[in-house]
Structure 1
Amino acid sequence: MPRTDVPPGQQVAVVDLTDVAVRYGTAKQPVTALEGVDLRIHAGEFVVLVGPSGCGKTSLLRVVAGFERPASGRARVRGALPRPGAGAGVVFQQPRLFPWRTVGGNLGFALARIGVPRAERPRRIVELLERVGLPGMAGRRTWELSGGQQQRVALARALAAEPELLLMDEPFAALDALTRERLQEEVRVLAGRLGMTVLFVTHSAEEAVLLGSRVLVMAAGPGRVVAELPVSLARESDTDVSALRSSPEFARLRGRLTEIMRG
């Protein structure tokens, strides 16, 4: 969590982007996905990117993950150039699990990649599955799981390296409404309990307000951040999230964010 004795403006940013641009295509026919993006995320923040399709949300997340290099500008994660797997866990819209491996096999592979000794992996697998609400599932085949369970395994895999930064690209978009709500609540509580820094991409104003401590609204043509909405909803681990959803403040913030997005 952020140090309480340091003013927010003086905290060292976990994510620091300055005037970042991302372009695709050829030199003769370039496509600008992002232009002039400045972004700073401090330790313990849950920042949500929201906006229409094509506004560059995923491109921005890929820059932070180290999957893309900016065409111009400066990108740093904890003061270093972003690199895949360097201190950041990533959860995609689709789980992307290995279907020929069991649940435990998928997690064991992730643990092996970060150098966890073979003898320690079974214990870590049990801990990870308990953390995401799937105790006793290590021996199950991934194709035996529901979509929500598969996404929980993907989250456990991202948490295997105990990352300080968690990047989530519309991870619940393909799930049914009930499963989506349940996982939203669990991720909100888990992030608070572990003190993780999160960058989360969504199209949904409701999801953005529920999860984020700060919401950034993006627009296309080219992709850029056009507005910021601080969210002051309670974030303690014992917060009743169901009651939060029906609160007047939640409705006000959701309405305000929808208004900004439409504008």
Structure 2
Amino acid sequence: MPRTDPASGGAAGAAAGEHLAVDLSAVSVRYGPAKQPVTVLDAVDLRVRAGEFVVLVGPSGCGKTTLLRVIAGFARPASGTALVRGSAPRPGRGAGVVFQQPRLFPWRTVGGNLGFALARHGVPRSQRPGRIAELLDRVGLPGMGGRRTWELSGGQQQRVALARALAAEPELLLMDEPFAALDALTRERLQEEVRSLAGRLGTTVLFVTHSVEEAVLLGSRVLVMAAGPGRVVEDLAVPLPREPDTDVAGLRASPEFARLRGRLAGALQPA
């Protein structure tokens, strides 16, 4: 893992003893037959402190989604160890996941989708209506619990998917290119909302994207990955204001934002 400044919240800082939300040590993942396996991730080390917003960027095939799958408990390392808050990852336990496509149940209403998630996490039936209303308020969709999912725009559906992931009040949120299929204006709005929401709730977030601008805007750290096999080649701290009331439009136009965007773009260039 590349060296980072302890003040950045990166690997060096996390190793000093802060509470770790994610701790990967020499994690490798291989697919295919045992005689000719393909190494997707190679000896990846990653330490994420509670409350960090870490963005993964890199070319297609470098293992970004696989890394999220390991942390979510959907994939097991061939070697190395993976811990989420000190325990081995388990699907559906401790982490909310938001995919590139919303993957909502089309035969259920918005409230029905959220109610299903709440039921899975043991929320009593009597408490679900209040929790559904709270979740919809949180993602900017108040009063829309009775709408059918197919009546919603793509951006609204993705907000419902985010609300569903938040239903279990996860300490860790894993987001795999959730805004990639959205138009530019909706994407910008949801970026700002997720940035603000994570700051207000103190949620730890790992976010996959191919967008340099999105990575700099959202992340408190950005990890650059390279393929052949997948590995982390740079850990970039992003020292931009993260308060929920930050002027995001002004931030996007600032010289520091442009400097960080340029530095990240340079790091993504092939060696």
TM-score range, shorter chain: over 0.9
In the TM superposition, what are the counterparts of 1:168-207 in structure 2 within 5 Å?
Answer: 168-207=175-214
Alignment counterpart, residue 82 of structure 1, candidates 79, 89, 100: 89
Distance 1:8 1:248 in 2: 32
Alignment match, 1:259? 266
Once the 2 structures are TM-superposed, how far is the Cα of residue 8 of structure 1 from its aligned partner? 7.2
Q: Which of 119, 130, 151 is the matching residue for 2:126?
A: 119
Find the aligned partners of 1:248 and 1:236 in 2 and give their Cα distance. Answer: 19
Identity between Structure 1 and Structure 2 (%): 80
Cα distance in 2 for partners of 1:239, 1:149 equals 23
Q: Please state how far the C-alpha of 1:210 moved relative to its aligned partner.
A: 0.2
TM-score (norm 2): 0.94
Which residue identity lines up with residue 79 of structure 1 in the other structure? G
Residue of structure 1 in register with 2:242 after alignment: 235
Which residue number in structure 1 is paired with residue 154 of structure 2?
147
Deviation digits for residues 122-159 of structure 1 (CA, Å, limit 9, x no counterpart)? 00000000000000100000000000000000000000
How far the C-alpha of 1:31 sits from its partner, in A, is 1.0
Q: How far apart, CA to CA, are the structure 1 residues paired with 2:132 and 2:239? A: 35
Distance (whole Å) between structure 1 residues aligned to residue 137 and residue 230 of structure 2: 39
State the Cα distance separating 1:7 from its structure 2 match. 8.1
Q: What code does the residue aligned with 2:59 have?
A: P
SS at match of 1:74: strand
Q: Which runs of 5+ in 2 are unaligned?
A: 1-8
Aligned length: 259
Decide whether aligned partners of structure 1 residues 213 and 238 sit closer, same or farther in structure 2, where only a CA change above 3 A counts: same
Kept in 1: contact 2:28–2:80 (CA 8 A): yes
Per-residue CA deviation, residues 175-199 of structure 1 (Å, 9 max, x unaligned), is 0010000000000000000001000
Alpha-carbon deviation of 1:87? 1.0
Equivalent position to 1:106, from 113, 119, 129: 113
Q: Does residue 224 in structure 1 map to residue 231 in structure 2?
A: yes
Matched residue, 2:6: none
Letter in 1 for 2:131: R
Q: Verify: 1:41 aligned to 2:48, yes or no.
A: yes
SS at match of 2:67: helix
What residue in structure 1 maps to residue 5 of structure 2? none
Structure 2 contact 61–227 (Cα < 8 Å) conserved: yes
Instruction: Provide the secondary structure at the position in 2 that maps to 1:262.
Output: coil
Match of 2:144 among 137, 143, 159: 137
Residues 109, 145 of structure 2: 8 Å contact kept: yes
Deviation, structure 1 residue 29: 2.1
| Distance apart, 1:254 and its partner CA | 0.3
Instruction: Show the counterpart of 2:80.
Output: 73
The yes-or-no answer on 1:159 pairing with 2:176 is: no
The alpha carbon displacement at 1:86 in A equals 1.1
Q: CA RMSD in A?
A: 1.2
Query: In 1, distance between residues paired with 2:152 and 2:14?
Result: 45
Offset of residue 236 of structure 1 = 0.8
- Deviations 1:104-134 (CA, angstroms, capped at 9, x unpaired): 0000000000010001100000000000000
Does 1:209 find its partner at 2:197? no
